[in-house]
Amino acid sequence: MLARNVAAIDDDPRSKVGVSVAAMSQSTPAPPTSQEALSSLLRDVLPPQGAWGEREYLWLTDHTNRLIELAGGRVQELPMPTDTHQAVLLFLYLLFHGYLEPRGGVVRVAALRMRVREGTFREPDLLLLRDRSDPRRQDRYWLGADLVVEVVSPDDPDRDRVEKRADYAAAGIAEYWVADPRGEAITVLTLKGDAYVEHGTFARGEAATSPLLAGFTADVDAVFDAPESGV
């Protein structure tokens, strides 16, 4: 799947891919298996799963429009967001933006890479800093955040609830929100030492609160009604 989206490969040290592709294009007629040949060629040039490094990951994500993360030497392709996912995310973005903008903070939505630690990059659905001049805010990718939000994807809920919980805690991110459209609940986790503890799980009829952002609330009904409310 990744091979379909990789482009501009001739500007990379692995430029032999570009040369090989050019040679293939000169053959007439192009064989019906040319896509399979290109995929095979890329598999030969790019690292196998388990051997990916930051350089290869950054090159790949600079040349594709897919959502891709790096952890444990493996690239993980994330599912394409649904309408529900986007509506919930954008509603939360507007809430956080409205709170942070007058206070000098900044909030961004995926896709923006965040370096969790050496060899690990995540693309949180939403990430924010209370100070827009925070040095962790870099242009190509952020070096951390004060708070991140993930909207749980139905394909692999444990990715958000377990794997990323551990990653974000290890990165020292003070607060982690997990919004679950299927369960219609928001779990707010706050960092204590090197692990998260649950500040609260907020269901319909309640308002999610933030220990980090004084006075900030998110009405759970409004968040999960966003897909039908025209957000």
Per-residue tens of pLDDT for the chain, all 231 residues: 454 344 333 344 444 333 333 443 444 444 446 767 756 666 677 888 888 988 998 888 888 888 888 888 888 888 888 999 999 999 999 999 999 999 999 999 988 999 999 989 899 999 999 999 999 999 999 999 999 999 998 888 888 999 999 999 999 999 999 999 999 999 999 999 999 999 999 999 999 999 999 999 999 999 999 999 876
Domains held by the chain: number? 2
Among the three residues 55, 77, 99, which one is the final residue of a domain in this structure? 77
Q: Whole-model pTM?
A: 0.78
Residues 27, 33, 35, 36: what is their CA dihedral angle, to the nearest 10 degrees? -120
Among the three residues 20, 54, 77, which one is the final residue of a domain in this structure? 77
Residues 177 and 135 placed together within one structural domain of the fold = yes
Residues 41 and 121 placed together within one structural domain of the fold = no
* CATH number of the domain residue 217 falls in: 3.90.1570.10
Residues 99 and 70 placed together within one structural domain of the fold = no
CA-closest candidate to residue 135, choices 146, 125, 126, 124: 146
Q: Please give the structure tokens belonging to residue 132.
A: 């827009």
Residues 25 and 126 placed together within one structural domain of the fold = no
Residues 109 and 6 placed together within one structural domain of the fold = no
Please state, in angstroms and rounded to a whole number, the distance separating the CA atoms of residues 91 and 26.
50
Contacts 24+ apart (CB under 8 A), 193-200: 194/169, 194/170, 195/169, 196/165, 196/168, 196/169, 199/175
Residues 155 and 51 placed together within one structural domain of the fold = no
Q: Which residue has the tokens 């020292």?
A: 172
Residues 110 and 193 placed together within one structural domain of the fold = yes
Domain that holds residue 29: 2-77
- Angstrom distances, CA of residue 214 to CA of 105, 169, 188, 196, 220: 13, 21, 14, 19, 18
Residues 139 and 94 placed together within one structural domain of the fold = yes
Q: Please give the structure tokens belonging to residue 56.
A: 């290869």
Please state, in angstroms and rounded to a whole number, the distance separating the CA atoms of residues 101 and 172.
23
- Angstrom distances, CA of residue 100 to CA of 96, 125, 176, 187, 223: 6, 17, 16, 21, 18
Please state, in angstroms and rounded to a whole number, the distance separating the CA atoms of residues 214 and 64.
38
Residues 158 and 129 placed together within one structural domain of the fold = yes
69's CB contacts (< 8 A; 6+ apart) are 75, 76, 78, 121, 122, 123
CA-closest candidate to residue 109, choices 131, 143, 86, 130: 86
Ramachandran region, residue 184 (left: φ > 0; alpha: ψ -120 to 50; beta: rest): left
Residues 66 and 127 placed together within one structural domain of the fold = no
